[in-house]
Structure 1
Amino acid sequence: MNQTVRRILICCALIGVFITGAVVGQNKFGQPKSLLHVVTLKWKPESTVEQRQKAIDGVKTMAGQIPGIKNVWLKTVKVQGPSREVQFDAAFVIEFASEEALKVYAAHPAHKKWEEVYLPVREESRTHDIGN
């Protein structure tokens, strides 16, 4: 193989590697069909750290018992605020496979049982259900 052909092949290979890197490195995102149930809440002032943690841990326990729950996020990193009316303390998110799965969750006995732990320590909450 002569020198010119060899250089052309090397250039083509390098161009191929560059194009592959550009395609693979693109920021890709999707619009999943799942539904996010986002809850921000304020704990009752008299609730204990243990009661609060039990309520949050209960979300994970409940998720394992209700069909259609795909993922949960339980660690509050930041809650936007403060608001004039309410300073929220915590947040959690539950991802459902579909809107129908959210309806199953709302009526499920495991959800009702979790509410027995959660509602007595929750002063106020806001819920947002988000999908595509």
Structure 2
Amino acid sequence: MKKFLVTLLAAGLLAFSAVHASAQSEAAPKSVMHVVTVSWKADAKPEQIQAALDGAQKLPSAYKGITRVWAKTIKAQGDRTHAIAMEFASEQALKDYTGSDAQKEWYKVYLPIRERSTTFDVTN
């Protein structure tokens, strides 16, 4: 009887683990987060920086593959002062964004004042 209960308990734990793992993978988004950390040129004016951030916020309406943008930095570490996060619908949407008209248009206000940036692309 003891052996039966141990086997039953083990089977139950395995079943729970499988269901839990399946639920996690089903709940995990398939989108891609494109995170950019930025330091601006020393002579960048606050209104130029705001224009670059506002331009990033407008990207979802200019490029259908971007679903959301976050551009209000709450905390920054190191020599980067701002972060911009863009959620892309898929890895392909991120790839297709490179060189797109939307990216080129945003770069007109962003690149002239950007000193350095680092990007991270993250998905599940």
TM-score range, shorter chain: 0.7 to 0.9
1:52 aligned onto 2:61:
no
CA RMSD of aligned residues (A): 1.4
How many pairs are equivalent?
A: 100
Moved over 6 A (4+): none
Match of 2:70 among 68, 73, 79: 73
SS of residue in 2 equivalent to 1:67: coil
- Given residue 83 of structure 2, which amino acid in structure 1 is its aligned partner? A
Q: Please give the TM-score of this superposition, normalised by the length of structure 2.
A: 0.76
Match of 1:102 among 74, 79, 94: 94
Give the structure with higher Rg (CA): 1
Match of 1:91 among 78, 83, 89: 83
Percent of pairs with identical residues: 46
Shift of 1:77: 0.4
Structure 1 match to 2:108: 116
List per-residue Cα deviations over 1:76-101 (Å, max 9, x = no partner): 00112x2xxxx111001000010000
Structure 2 match to 1:62: 59
Q: Please give the TM-score of this superposition, normalised by the length of structure 1.
A: 0.72
Structure 2 unaligned residues grouped into runs of 5+: 1-22
Tell me how far apart the structure 1 counterparts of residues 115 and 99 of structure 2 sit (CA, whole Å). Answer: 22
Q: Is the 8 A contact 2:40 2:116 kept in 1?
A: yes
Tell me how far apart the structure 1 counterparts of residues 89 and 105 of structure 2 sit (CA, whole Å). Answer: 22
Shift of 1:107: 2.1
Structure 1 match to 2:35: 38
Structure 1 unaligned residues grouped into runs of 5+: 1-27
List per-residue Cα deviations over 1:56-92 (Å, max 9, x = no partner): 0001222211011111111000112x2xxxx111001
SS of residue in 2 equivalent to 1:101: helix
SS of residue in 1 equivalent to 2:75: coil
